[in-house]
Each structure stands twice: as C-alpha cells, then as structure tokens.
Amino acid sequence: MAKLEDVKFIWRNADVVTFDVDSTVIQEEGIDELAKFCGKGDQVTALTSQAMQGNLTFQQSLTERLNIIKPSYTQVKQFLESHPPKLTPGIKALVTALQAHKKQVFLVSGGFHCVIAPVAVLLDIPLEHVFANKLKFYFTGEYAGFDENQPTAASGGKAKVIEYLKKELGCKTVVHIGDGATDLETISIADTFIGYGGNVVRESVKIGAPWFITDFNELANAL
C-alpha cells in the first residue's frame, strides 16, 4: 500500500500529465476505425492480432497496416467529418481538473495527428501539446506513407517524447497514462505510469502498472 501511496503523491505533485489516446482518452482504436471506413477493417484487425503475438516492431506493424488501408486525403477528410471522437467517460472532467491544478496536459499517441487534433480541441489541449504520427499524401491526394521521423513512429517512441519534455522543455515530474504495451514502456523515463483499463484491459499493463485504474474519476478524486 505504501507503494501506491508513493504513486498517488507523484500524481498529485506532477507538473505534466501525458495521455495515450486510442482506447484511453477515446473509446476506440483510430487506425482500426479508419480501416473499417476504408473497407479494410477485417484485414487490419487480423494483422493487429498477429502483431500482438509476433515479433513485429511498432514501425513494421504501422507500415503494414497503412499499406493495406492506403487512405487517400479525401477518405481521411470524410472519415473525420463522419466520425466525431468518442471521448471516454470522465476524461473531459479529469483534464479540466488537471488544468485547474496548473498541470500541463499532453497527448502522446502512435495514432495520427489529423485524427487526434479534434480530440485535443474537445479537451482544450493546445495542438502543440499533441505528439502523434503524421500521414503523407501526394499532390494528387493519394496516400504517400507516414513521417518516419516522428518519435511515435517507432517502438519506445512515447518514452522518447517524455524524455524530450524533460530535457528540452524542462518538465520536472511527468506521469503517463495509457492502456497498451507502448505505454508501459514509459516506466523507464516517466516519474510514474498509471495503467488504464476502462475501455480494454491488457493483462501485461494491469500487472506491470504501479497503479491500474478503470475509471478516470478515481484519478480526479486523488488530486
């Protein structure tokens, strides 16, 4: 119990909180939803399942899934217009509470900046506080790949973002919150990690997180 109390102390005193987005801040996995919209849902879901069991790096997995979807600029625009973000219950109140406590909030995701920007707007998070992957398009509007230079494009990317926040922006105490394996990786650099299982419970995260929650109200109440 003392260990959990230590984590809660860090949570209360953090100056920065970083959130994963898919299945954490929003209820869905953005890439799976985009794949369904583009008629490639089954193929991408199967590949996601294989990637979870195999030895694909995050970058390999992202490359292969996007090569199946090949979303055009028009398709992405139509997807965004027809799929407003489904915020996870309690997240809006939590972000508002964190900001009221003068804590900076960042969104750090292996998803796509264009899909996450509307989420940031809903939560009153500045767009410069969003770290995510960026899709590239040819001048014709056809899919041209993604920006492989973004830290979130590779395994360990979220930890690299937090390292950047600490070293380059002078953030002192950083707490990361998320549901997946790439979030668990931040334990190496974040001051603490909080696992979230309100949308999907991943056993490795539940076991590895110093604090595991399924309701954002628990975090708001602990402030």
Question: What amino acid positions are annotated as catalytic residues?
Answer: 20, 22
d(CA 128, CA 27): 23
d(CA 160, CA 98): 23
H or E element in which residue 171 lies: none
Longest dimension (CA), the chain: 58
Helix/strand/coil for 204: helix
Task: Compute φ and ψ for 177, nearest 5 degrees.
Answer: -130, 130
